[in-house]
């Protein structure tokens, strides 16, 4: 059973490494689309806030953001009250990728929800307990 579960985790990790098109005609890597996702969730977020939300250093976030600006997904605007602070916003292209990413996740969730329909309530409770316990191992 452990080997089967580890195989599923390996597939998930490998799948995350494959860049995907989220509706813009360009492929984005997981770190890129998740940067876009978090900016889309909180327009006018700054680098420090984004760093905390994503659990990544400010230097790494700055690198991702600059890459997304160069690709036309994100714009930077200086805060008028604090000239040292830069606010981040999605461009139209960034918004398109953000929405495409939401649809991608909805499709995956629908498939998982469909799987649960084949189990009875007691089995679902056991599966949920296992997943929660497994998540604690990863923390």
- Would you list the domain boundaries of the chain? 2-138
Across-strand partners of 75? 89
pLDDT of residue 82: 79
Q: Note the pLDDT of residue 55.
A: 92
Query: Closest Cα partner for 31 from 42, 20, 41?
Result: 20
Q: Let me know the angle formed at the C-alpha of 31 by 34 and 59, rounded to the nearest 5 degrees.
A: 105
- 84 band by pLDDT with thresholds 50, 70 and 90: confident
pLDDT category at 6 given cuts 50, 70, 90 is: confident
Is the pLDDT at 123 greater than 90? The verdict is: yes
pLDDT of residue 107: 95
pLDDT above 90: percentage of residues in the chain: 78
- Say what the pLDDT of residue 40 is: 96
pLDDT score, position 76: 94
Cβ atoms 88, 76 nearer than 8 A: yes
Indicate whether 81 pLDDT > 90: no
- Confidence (pLDDT) at 37: 96
Report the C-alpha gap between 78 and 33 in whole angstroms.
23
Domain 2-138 matching CATH 1.10.1660.10: the answer reads no
Q: What is the mean pLDDT of the chain?
A: 93
Query: CA 97 → CA 72, 90, 101, 123, distances in Å?
Result: 11, 9, 6, 36
């Amino acid at each position: 059973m452990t080997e089967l579960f580890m195989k599923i985790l390996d597939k998930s990790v490998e799948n995350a490494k494959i860049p995907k098109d989220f509706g813009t005609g360009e492929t984005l890597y997981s770190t890129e689309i998740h940067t876009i996702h978090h900016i889309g969730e909180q327009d006018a977020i700054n680098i420090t806030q984004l760093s905390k939300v994503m659990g990544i250093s400010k230097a790494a976030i700055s690198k991702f953001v600059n890459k997304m600006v160069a690709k036309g997904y994100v714009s930077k605007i200086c805060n008028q009250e604090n000239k040292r602070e830069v606010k981040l916003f999605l461009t139209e292209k960034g918004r398109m990728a953000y929405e495409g990413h939401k649809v991608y996740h909805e499709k995956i969730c629908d498939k998982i929800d469909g799987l649960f329909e084949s189990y009875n309530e007691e089995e679902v409770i056991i599966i949920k307990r296992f997943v929660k316990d497994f998540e604690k191992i990863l923390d």
